[in-house]
Structure 1
């Protein structure tokens, strides 16, 4: 079968939809004839990717940002749970974040994305499976491939989604971050983590805790500089519960990865983790950020699925 390109026309502030007709010719020169499906609603890419994999499609390409990749991965993992595990993931980054592409060392150029897909060289990467509480109080299950975090990061995601895009993506994110910091609260989080069958339990006092398969989130913040997407472990980064100004200073260090040396920041590894918010009065400000998408809230249970998907990207 031809590769299927799942295109999110709203990614990149709508630029992907406007420019895709121009992108298609160089894509087909590199990959040959392709089939194209445009998403029409949130989570539509999940359905498209799942059905493509169940139909035996060898390659599904996410054309969009981190949210688009997240949805395609969820569809491929749903198909994998039903026995269709052979579909490879390709990425043509066309969004504003590109955090997973940074971890995978995919250069942000159309010709480089196409060359990685055309090479046929695939590398297996880990995927996180998690259960969580939706905003309506019901439970759900999903997957993530890059970073799942809880706290201020999820609040910022929600505020970004409510900010008019007429301001531009950078300004919208900056404004949401400032508002998110002001509204953030320290969560008391019971954490039960295990690695190789050995468990530990403790209580965290934090504004943000991140469970990292990839290195970057938030459009280039190197939240877990030690992370590898194929090593069978999550890197957990607890940014601590410092007062607002000191927390802002710690967060700024994520652009270089130096925050991990700050005494407020804690790091440990696991392959399974449970997080429960003990002071539920702050749950309105302690939300989930899942591969850059605002998805729900604690409690969550996360397990690592090792080498679950093959992605067309340079060897790590």
Structure 2
């Protein structure tokens, strides 16, 4: 459709569907197929966390308003290089959140389930169970060639958007058009500390915790000493040792 000159692409689904559509906007060589095309999202998925950032829902009124928009706004996209489930080097793009650690294992658990409880409860219950079974990994985080953390961590999230996990505001200050990633490092939390601070994550009030660090940059490298799951936009795609690169204003979205 893009190669035929269509200038509006509508994605109907959740964050996983949006991720597939975003990847379809690029050629195998990493070029945007049609830079003038605008992407419109109608969120009907389990989490729909990217849409949450812009107060977009699937109501008729909201859909009609989106369809009537004439201009799209520029949005950053992130190129991710990582190891896939088959152990081979892989490359994909994402638009919302990349996460190594407990968040990605939670996503994997949700995707294996029925999701019949809806986004909030499906992710919350999966997160509670994952906290019980998860053990922190040794990670190294490098931002723009500067090492900012090395040590045990339960989660590193690199946010272009703000929300993940069915409404958790993991990167509350992130913007999709500022050309940088907000990298939230949740360090060596105990299980009790994770349970005690979960409500703060939903409010975006966790950044003040002494075991949480925020960094920003255009290039992020997350190295893992042992296998740790990686998710992009709510989809488990492989494992850590991940390189992320911001592509500023790469696409246009309607919101």
Shorter chain as denominator, the TM-score bin is: over 0.9
How has the CA–CA distance of structure 1 residues 211 and 200 changed in structure 2, closer, same or farther, with 3 Å as cutoff? same
**Structure 1 position 309 matched with structure 2 position 255:** no
Offset of residue 242 of structure 1? 1.2
Larger radius of gyration: 1
Offset of residue 163 of structure 1? 2.1
Q: TM-score, normalised by structure 1?
A: 0.75
**Structure 1 position 253 matched with structure 2 position 195:** no
Structure 1 stretch displaced more, 87-96 or 265-274: 87-96
User: Which residue of structure 2 aligns with residue 48 of structure 1?
Assistant: none
Equivalent residue for 1:288, pick from 203, 226, 230: 230
User: Which residue of structure 1 aligns with residue 21 of structure 2?
Assistant: 72
1:45-66: CA deviations, max 9, x gaps? xxxxxxx222222111000111
How has the CA–CA distance of structure 1 residues 254 and 277 changed in structure 2, closer, same or farther, with 3 Å as cutoff? same
Q: Runs of 5+ in structure 1 lacking a partner?
A: 1-51
| Map 1:1-316 → 2, pairs under 5 A | 52-78=1-27, 81=31, 83-165=33-115, 170-194=120-144, 199-201=145-147, 202-278=149-225, 280=226, 283=227, 286-313=228-255
| Contact 2:184 2:215 (C-alpha < 8 Å) held by counterparts | yes
How has the CA–CA distance of structure 1 residues 222 and 171 changed in structure 2, closer, same or farther, with 3 Å as cutoff? closer
Please give the root-mean-square deviation of Cα atoms over the aligned residues, in Å: 1.8
Q: TM-score, normalised by structure 2?
A: 0.92
For 2:176 and 2:58, locate their aligned partners in 1 and report how far apart those are by CA, in whole Å.
Answer: 19
For 1:167 and 1:58, locate their aligned partners in 2 and report how far apart those are by CA, in whole Å.
Answer: 36
Offset of residue 249 of structure 1? 2.0
Offset of residue 106 of structure 1? 2.4
1:163-197: CA deviations, max 9, x gaps? 23456555443332222111212111122211xxx
Q: Runs of 5+ in structure 2 lacking a partner?
A: none
For 2:116 and 2:250, locate their aligned partners in 1 and report how far apart those are by CA, in whole Å.
Answer: 39
Structure with the bigger RCO (C-alpha within 8 Å, sep 6+) is: 2
How has the CA–CA distance of structure 1 residues 292 and 110 changed in structure 2, closer, same or farther, with 3 Å as cutoff? farther
**Structure 1 counterpart SS, 2:39:** strand
For 2:231 and 2:103, locate their aligned partners in 1 and report how far apart those are by CA, in whole Å.
Answer: 6
For 2:68 and 2:118, locate their aligned partners in 1 and report how far apart those are by CA, in whole Å.
Answer: 33
User: Which residue of structure 2 aligns with residue 31 of structure 1?
Assistant: none
**Structure 1 counterpart SS, 2:179:** coil
